[in-house]
Amino acid sequence: MPITLDRPLTWQQAAAVAAGEPLVLSEAAWQRLAHARAIVDAIVERGILAYGVNTGVGGLANVIVDRPKQRQLSRNIIMSHAVGVGAPLGKAETRAIITAAINNYAHGHSGVRPALVEQMLALLAQDCIPEVPSLGSVGYLSHMAHIALVLIGEGFAVHEGQRLTGAEALARIGRVPLVLEAKEGLSLVNGSPCVTGLSALVLDRAHRLISWTDVAAAMSFENLRSQPVAFEAISLALRVSDGMQETGQRMRALLEGSAILAAAAGRQTQDSLSLRAVPHVHGAVRDALATIGATVDQEFASVSDNPAVMGTPEAPQVYSEAHAVAPHIALAMDQAGIAIAELAAMAERRLDRLVNPHVSGLPAFLAADSGVASGFMIAQYTATSLVGYNRRLASPASLDGGVTSGLQEDHLTHATPAALKALQILDNAEHILAIELLANAQAYDLQEGDHARAPGTEIFYRDIRSAIPPYRDDRPLAGDIAAARGILQRGYVGSA
């Protein structure tokens, strides 16, 4: 079922398009595009001074560009702004950015032609993915410039697994290169679609991750024979937090009926915080994600192009503003990175307890033949390394600052880098969680006695074991970690 863009998209809808769902525009959206373009045409015809339409950009904002050169200005903006470096973004990331750009134009205040949006929709429909270097943005500009190159038959794209020039790619999908009109070059690189699209992916992955983190935490809690009284609803209700109550409910459901926990009841007064505080930490992350999601939806609902056009063709209005700076979503992505990093850090602490014979009550390092075999000793090193990496990445990008464009742009929020590092933190967190899941499956295999697992954890234990056999130091453990990450990247666990 295609997703219809009439009113602004939600982050969930944008993530679905990024994953491959079709996107179409409503008739009302097409009318808004046409109306805004008519306003730009009137500005051009009447010579009304407008940034990026008949002036240079950035530090050249006061240089007038005569009408005969306005097409060349649009093309030149794309060429000069296509300065990205580094490995290309993935397909989902590029689709997400294109989706967010279309959403921005469909507000009807940018003034690009409907034909330009048709070209972008064709890229999505045909899964023709522009090659977009991942690095080089201080907030916006470079990523969209590389997408724009393909629209005009330049740059590179991947179609059906083959890297093609922009012109070859357009020909493959039955399109011809666009000749950009006034303002289109600026609108293609301006605004916040890069961070907005990427943020939808951050949220989509983070919600899936936290559901799986509940599963891993429940397994660790059970394997370490902890005290479930910490999760009782009457006690958790003393602290006000929707996320904490939801986490508590999920933990109770996952652990209900555990014979392992029943046999260990009353063994100790309270457990370590990495076990006892699961509802508090996971709940805080859930609460943060709810706030972040509202901010990202707010960004989808906002115009981020500069300048914005309003009024009518008969009475055109143009407003130079700073909507593209996007501090709200920059701060939200910094918060997302911190929240995900904390979730992963707590998972590593549970993992350490599983492999540590001083506290686990299990064979040292979960090794099948201790001494001859090291088991999960070094896998925990990897998790510790990734926690440190996340700690470095979680430093706020929005505080980086910097000055560009000859003092014209002297405050930068680094919104897109904030989203990119949140995605890297998610990569690291998925690896950490994969190791915890593997360690838990191994711990179940090494449990003494024949006490049954909870039905809720049994499902996931069997799912892991159906794909990954017990570890005997008989193969590189890295392959098992990759396989476990593949399991947790599924979306079937349930919504967070």
Catalytic residue set: 51
DSSP per-residue string spanning 312-350: -SSSEEEE---GGG-HHHHHHHHHHHHHHHHHHHHHHHH
Beta bridge pairs of residue 135: 85
- Compute φ and ψ for 24, nearest 5 degrees: -130, 160
409 SS3 class: strand
489 SS3 class: coil
Give the list of residues 6+ apart from residue 156 with CB closer than 8 angstroms, or none.
130, 131, 149, 150, 163, 164, 165, 166, 169
Beta bridge pairs of residue 5: 25
Rounded CA-CA distance 465/496 in Å is 25
Burial of 46 (0-12, 13-18, 19+ CB in 10 A): exposed
Rounded CA-CA distance 192/196 in Å is 6
**Could you tell me which of 66, 29, 42 has the C-alpha nearest to residue 311?**
42
Q: What is the largest CA-CA distance in the chain?
A: 86
88 SS3 class: strand
Q: Both tokens of residue 456?
A: 């809720």
